[in-house]
Amino acid sequence: MKRSGRRFSIFSLWRFCTTLPKLLASLLKRPFTSEWFDVLAAANSGDADEVPEGWKTVREISAETGLSESHTWKQLRQLHEQGKIERRRFKICTGTTIRPVPHYSI
């Protein structure tokens, strides 16, 4: 008898795909009462940091130099490892969320 090589039957895959949205909907209706959730939410909330003069993101540096962001990122990482530039993370607003973004200074 020849095996098809499938780990799951077509029916079990179909059943999983049809019950997943119901499961996710039920999870989203539950209130988050975890102590860890409260701590993590508090850590992510807050105001954005004020970035001091002279600190720039990879995107800003690549726009100034005309190099791609990936090439700029690699060069900045090497310079930081050599101790020629400083790197600090500042919380800035990226679209709709506040995230820590690395900034570089000469």
Tokens of 30: 């539950």
In whole angstroms, what is the distance from residue 4 CA to residue 73 CA? 46
pTM for this model (two decimals): 0.56
Compare 30 and 59 and report the one with higher pLDDT. Answer: 59
Identify whether the C-beta of residue 75 lies closer than 8 Å to the C-beta of residue 62: no
Confidence label for 45 from pLDDT (cuts 50, 70 and 90): low
pLDDT in the model for residue 61? 95
44: left (phi over 0), alpha (psi -120 to 50) or beta: alpha
